[in-house]
Amino acid sequence: MSRRVAILLSGGGSNMVALARSMTGDHPARPVLVMANSETAGGLEKARDMGIDTAWVDHRPFKGDRPAFEDALHARLVQADPDIVCLAGFMRVLTEGFVRRWQGRMLNIHPSLLPKYRGLHTHARAIEAGESEHGCTVHEVTAELDEGPILGQARVPVQPADTPDRLAARVLEMEHRLYPAVLRRFAAGDRRPVMLP
Ligand code: GRF
């Protein structure tokens, strides 16, 4: 039986599209819900166009009451009954309480070679530090931000003329290859890391 996958996003959802497109044929999983923290997240429309159920829970009315926001998110997720939750550009920090409810079943993609450059502005920071390579990581979500067992990494050489935007674009292309590869393996019950290229 197919594993059920929910995808959480905040933005344009290019990783969501890559994940959803990958889940066909003999893939062990299927997308059952795409959920955002804003009605206007571009990824919601893309998901609807792909025939995937969508939902959103706006974080703003909760005004800093993170647990209450997460309770609402959790309630909607439970309705979709996912086996796996993929964070794909979901820009809300999640509390330990929420993470614990989905631990071992929740993945995230982060645009750096973790443990380097947790947090934001990873591309600018990698260039500034004079890194010769950068990349992206898929990891299991644990209570610490951008921590958790690494399930895959893809490396991208930094070029001398790189700006943060140029580098980000090349890393994003690799994200679109890495995340589907990790999800396929994870959904089949295999947690060995995927290393690209
Ligand atoms: C990606 O760079 C991802 O690594 C980061 O947020 C961005 C999401 O992009 N966590 P998209 O919405 O998937 O296009």
Host H or E run for residue 174? helix 164-187
Section 47-59 average pLDDT: 98
What gap in Å lies between CA 119 and CA 132, rounded to an integer? 20
Host H or E run for residue 54? strand 54-56
Residue 24 has pLDDT above 90, yes or no: yes
Please enumerate in sequence order all residues whose Cβ is within 8 A of that of 7, keeping only pairs 6 or more positions apart, or say none.
16, 19, 20, 31, 33, 34, 35, 47, 85, 86, 87, 88
Residue 1 has pLDDT above 90, yes or no: no
Please enumerate in sequence order all residues whose Cβ is within 8 A of that of 70, keeping only pairs 6 or more positions apart, or say none.
94, 95, 97, 98
| Domain architecture of the chain: domains with CATH | 3-108+138-151+178-189 (3.40.50.170)
Residue 70 has a pLDDT of 97
For ligand 1, whether the C-beta of 175 sits within 6 Å is yes
Which phi and psi angles does 23 have, rounded to 5°?
-85, 65
Which of 109, 146, 178 gets mutated to test ligand 1 (max ligand atoms within 8 A of its CB)?
109
For ligand 1, whether the C-beta of 180 sits within 6 Å is no
Instruction: Report the separation in Å between the CA atom of 16 and the middle of ligand 1, taken as the mean of its atom positions.
Output: 9
Instruction: Report the separation in Å between the CA atom of 161 and the middle of ligand 1, taken as the mean of its atom positions.
Output: 23
Give the count of beta carbons closer than 10 Å to the beta carbon of residue 129. Answer: 11
Section 173-184 average pLDDT: 98
Angle formed at CA 30 by CA 26 and CA 33, multiple of 5 degrees: 170
Q: How confident is the model at residue 145 (pLDDT cuts 50, 70, 90)?
A: confident
What gap in Å lies between CA 148 and CA 141, rounded to an integer? 5
pLDDT (tens digit per residue) in 99-144: 999 999 999 999 999 999 999 999 999 999 999 999 999 999 999 8
pLDDT (tens digit per residue) in 73-100: 999 999 999 999 999 999 999 999 999 9
62 secondary structure, DSSP code: G
Q: Is 176 a catalytic residue?
A: no
Residue 168 has pLDDT above 90, yes or no: yes
Section 173-186 average pLDDT: 98
The answer to whether the predicted template modeling score (pTM) of the entire model surpasses 0.85 is yes
Percent of the chain with pLDDT over 90: 96
